[in-house]
Structure 1
Amino acid sequence: MTIAFWCVLIALCLPYLGAWTAKFGGRGFGLQENHDARSFLAGLEGFRKRAHYFQLNSFEATPAFAVAVIVAYVVDNADPALVDTLAIGWVTSRLLYFIFYLADLAILRSLVWFVGMAIVIALFVISA
């Protein structure tokens, strides 16, 4: 399996990093809250609320990345080393996005979000 495909697996797991941080990053989540976790998450504040938002954004962003990696390999026009490098860059951008989201650094968060989207576009472009 290629590095880029491993990055897709990592990307699929990243939303759960946000969920875990939101639920267990402080007091209050237990068996009772698990019966209605969405209501619990909707009532969060601070970094835990931002971790939940990271989770939601990750579920939105990851499919485009996964498709871009798959297209890059199926079309077979792109250099595999470049695809791997871009995939690592995307995962790195998402980890920075998570850190900047938790730290409430909105401008940096938005910048790395744009980097991640540029990487997805680049994966399609190098496949053309």
Structure 2
Amino acid sequence: MTIALWCVLIAAILPLVLVGISRAGQRYDNRDPRGASQALEGSRKRAHSAHLNAFEAFPFFAAAVIVAEMKGAPRGALDGLAVAFIIVRIVHAGAYLGDQAPLRSAIWTVGFLLTIGIFILPLWR
């Protein structure tokens, strides 16, 4: 498996880590998990929002990597951009948890541009 495909797996796991942070030390209500999420406050609420945002970013990133893999994008560039995306998404989650809204938005933009870069990589094969 390529580094880029491993990054897809990591990107799929990241939202689960973030929801774990939002739930840490709290009793889980399996009857109404969405209702419990709406009652979160402070850093737990931000962790839950980061969790949702990570899920929103995942399909575009996964599709970009799969397309780039299928179309024979340059291996080094693809792996590098995929790793950069994962790093950026981890920093994004940190900015979310740290309540750094302007930084978070800038980092989100970098992640989005990296994903576009992955999509267009096959043009340079």
TM-score (ref. length: structure 1): 0.92
Separation in 2 of the partners of 1:38 and 1:22?
A: 13
| CA positional deviation for 1:58 | 1.0
Separation in 2 of the partners of 1:22 and 1:43?
A: 11
Separation in 2 of the partners of 1:56 and 1:17?
A: 11
Select 2:66's aligned residue among 65, 70, 78.
Answer: 70
Structure 2: 5+ residue stretches without partners:
none
User: Hey, what does 2:101 align to over in structure 1?
Assistant: 106
The aligned amino acid for 2:9 is L
| CA positional deviation for 1:37 | 1.1
| CA positional deviation for 1:127 | 1.6
- Residue identity (%): 44
Listed as ranges, the matches of 1:24-35 within 5 Å are 24=24, 26=25, 28-30=26-28, 33-35=29-31
| CA positional deviation for 1:68 | 0.4
The aligned amino acid for 2:27 is F
User: Hey, what does 1:4 align to over in structure 2?
Assistant: 4
| CA positional deviation for 1:34 | 2.3
Please state if 1:13 is matched with 2:13.
yes
| CA positional deviation for 1:124 | 1.3
User: Hey, what does 1:86 align to over in structure 2?
Assistant: 81
Corresponding residue SS for 1:104: coil
Q: Residues 19-70 of structure 1, C-alpha deviation per residue, up to 9 Å, x if partnerless?
A: 101111x4x324xx22211111111000100110111111111010001001
Separation in 1 of the partners of 2:90 and 2:64?
A: 19
The aligned amino acid for 1:96 is V
Structure 1 segments (4+ residues) deviating >3 Å = none
Structure 1: 5+ residue stretches without partners:
none
User: Hey, what does 1:41 align to over in structure 2?
Assistant: 37
Corresponding residue SS for 2:56: helix
Separation in 1 of the partners of 2:60 and 2:34?
A: 25
TM-score (ref. length: structure 2): 0.94
The aligned amino acid for 1:93 is V
Q: What RMSD over aligned residues (CA atoms) do the two structures have, in Å?
A: 1.0
